[in-house]
Amino acid sequence: MHIAIIMDGNGRWAKAQGKNRTEGHKIGAKVVKDITTYCSNNEEIKYLTLYAFSTENWKRPKLEVEFLMKLLDNWLKKELETYIKNEVKFEVIGDISKFSKKLQNRIKETKEKTKNFNRLTQVLALNYGSRDEITRAIKRLCDKNEEITEENISKNLDTGINNIPDVDLLIRTSGEVRLSNYLLWQVAYAEMFFTPTLWPDFTPQELNNIIQDFKKRERRFGGI
């Protein structure tokens, strides 16, 4: 099973608590650890893709963006032990070339040190936008002078290059009901769940409840 999550609501959670938005992001990072650990211990889940930083997030205040970059760098450094302990392979989709060299190296180091694990693959969508991903895939096909087919596009998406399958279950927290330029190609036949829970309040138990509901749905993939 491939679960993709739009982790939404950190800012609103912080505001409701009378705290700065950065505090919401800190708590949100802890939830990422809890959810990843839960998934690594669930044999049915093989891929967990998290929308961590979109191509549109650069529009946020400079201080918030800088904080998020530092948070990600510290997270990868601190949580490497957790990845190894839980045998989680770390992967990335998106264009990380806009990140600092330090952060790019941290990402590459984490990927290298976890590349042989197969209990769970955690995928972070970083500087990711689905339209950008599809555009880059088409450019790759043109550069290689390959035929533009559905199969070739899939293979040249960030997910295809990293052998990540299409999404089975998409979850968005915080009550918003939209995809926000996230995995538009890969969720073509995904089951979707939208929960009012803000990301910092999202728990493994709620995820488990959603999975149980997911199992009751009949997936026909366009058939009868």
**Active-site amino acid positions:** 8, 57
The dihedral sign for the CA sequence 110, 127, 183, 162:
negative
Compute the distance between CA of residue 170 and CA of residue 183 in angstroms, rounded to an integer.
10
Query: How far is residue 9's CA from residue 172's CA, in Å, rounded to a whole number?
Result: 10
Tell me how far CA of residue 141 lies from CA of 106, 148, 166, 182, in angstroms. Answer: 29, 7, 20, 21
- Contact assessment for residue 80 and residue 117, using Cβ atoms and an 8 Å cutoff: no
5 vs 192: CA distance, rounded Å: 10
Give me the sign of the Cα torsion angle 118, 120, 122, 123. Answer: positive
